[in-house]
C-alpha cells in the first residue's frame, strides 16, 4: 500500500524523513512537496491530486496546513483511496472566533518580526531550539518565501471544509498533539462531530508530532492503514 504524505505550512516533504524511516516495509510513501511560489488551497489542490498513485490503494496523510486540502481531495472520492489521516490539523480555521479578523495583517513584514526561538518552541516544544530537527525545520521554512508563508497563513484563517468532511465515506484517523498550542481540542472536537468514521489518538507531543514522535506516529498510521485496506 502507498502513503501520500502532505506537508505542513512550510510545504517541504523533507521533514517526513524520520516518519518514512519508521514505516514498515509494506507501506511505501509518496512524499509531496509544494511549489514554493504557491500559497492558495485552490492552486495546491491539483498538486495533491497529481500525487495519487494510479491503480494502487493508498492512504492520504495530511499534516497541519494540509488537512483541509486532504479533506477536499478525499471528498472527490478518488479511486483506490482507502483512508485519511489528519495530524494536528483542522477542518475550519483554528481560533476562528477571534483570530480570523486579523487575517489582513498576515503579511510578510509581520512574519519577519517573529523570532526563530519562538517558532521552534511553538512547533517543536521547549528545549528544541538547538536540535537537528530544529535546524531541518529552519531550512525548510527559509526555503519558502515569506510572502508565500503569509499567504498560506491567510488561507488557514479563512478555511472551512466542514461540509466536505461530512461527506467522506473512508475511515479517518486523527492524530492529536496533546501539547499543541496552535490547533486546540476544539478543532479536534469539531472534526469528531462531523466525520462519520473517525478514531482519535492523542499523543504526548507538540504541534509537529510526525517529526517529534515519528515511531509512535508510524505505528498508529500503519495499524490504521492495515484496517483501512480491509474496510
Segment 69-95 shows an average pLDDT of 95
* pLDDT tens track for 112-164: 778 888 889 999 998 765 589 999 999 999 999 999 999 999 999 999 999 99
Contacts of 201 (CB under 8 A, 6+ apart): 173, 174, 175, 176, 220
Q: How far is CA 138 from CA 24, 87, 142, 150, in A?
A: 28, 20, 6, 16
Q: Per-residue pLDDT for 99 more than 80?
A: no
Residue 45, domain extent: 2-229
Tell me the chain's radius of gyration from C-alpha atoms: 16
Domain count, the chain: 1
Beta pairing partners, 172: 84, 198
Strand order in the sheet with 58-63: 28-31, 2-6, 58-63, 81-87, 172-177, 198-203
State pTM to two decimals: 0.94
pLDDT at 94: 85
Q: How many CA atoms lie within 13 A of 129 on its CB side?
A: 8
Mean of per-residue pLDDT scores for the chain: 92
CB 178 within 8 A of CB 206: no
Query: The CATH number of the domain where 64 resides is what?
Result: 3.40.50.1820
pLDDT at 19: 97
The backbone region for 115, taken as left when phi is positive above 0, alpha when psi lies in -120 to 50, beta otherwise, is beta
pLDDT at 161: 97
168 secondary structure, DSSP code:
-
Q: Is residue 125 helix, strand or coil? A: coil
pLDDT at 88: 98
* pLDDT tens track for 50-63: 999 998 999 999 99
Q: Kindly write down the DSSP assignment for every residue of 7-59, as one continuous string.
A: --TT--GGGGHHHHHHS-TT-EEEE----TT---HHHHHHHHHHTSPTTS-EE
Nearest CA-CA partner of 175 in 80, 73, 59, 76 = 59
For residue 127, which phi and psi values (nearest 5 degrees)?
80, 5
Q: How many whole angstroms separate alpha carbon 124 and alpha carbon 110?
A: 21
Amino acid at each position: 500500500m502507498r502513503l501520500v504524505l502532505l506537508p505542513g505550512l512550510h510545504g517541504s516533504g523533507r521533514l517526513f524523513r524520520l516518519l518514512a524511516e519508521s514505516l514498515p516495509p509494506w507501506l511505501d510513501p509518496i512524499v509531496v512537496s509544494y511549489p514554493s511560489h504557491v500559497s492558495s488551497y485552490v492552486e495546491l489542490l491539483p498538486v495533491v491530486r497529481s500525487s495519487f498513485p494510479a491503480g494502487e490503494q493508498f492512504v492520504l496523510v495530511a499534516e497541519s496546513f494540509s488537512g483541509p486540502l486532504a479533506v477536499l481531495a478525499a471528498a472527490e472520492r478518488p479511486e483506490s483511496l482507502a483512508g485519511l489521516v489528519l495530524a494536528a490539523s483542522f477542518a475550519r480555521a483554528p481560533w476562528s472566533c477571534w483570530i480570523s479578523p486579523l487575517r489582513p495583517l498576515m503579511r510578510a513584514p509581520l512574519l519577519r518580526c517573529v523570532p526563530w526561538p519562538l517558532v521552534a518552541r511553538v512547533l517543536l516544544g521547549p528545549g528544541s531550539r538547538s536540535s537537528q530537527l530544529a535546524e531541518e525545520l529552519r531550512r525548510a521554512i527559509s526555503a519558502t518565501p515569506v510572502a508565500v508563508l503569509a499567504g498560506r497563513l491567510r488561507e488557514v484563517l479563512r478555511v472551512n471544509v466542514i461540509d466536505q468532511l461530512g461527506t467522506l465515506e473512508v475511515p479517518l484517523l486523527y492524530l492529536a498533539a496533546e501539547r499543541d498550542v496552535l490547533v486546540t481540542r476544539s478543532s479536534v472536537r469539531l472534526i469528531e462531530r462531523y466525520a462519520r468514521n473517525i478514531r482519535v489518538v492523542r499523543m504526548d507531543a507538540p504541534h509537529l508530532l510526525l517529526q517529534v514522535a515519528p515511531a509512535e506516529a508510524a505505528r498508529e498510521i500503519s495499524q490504521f492503514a492495515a484496517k483501512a485496506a480491509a474496510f
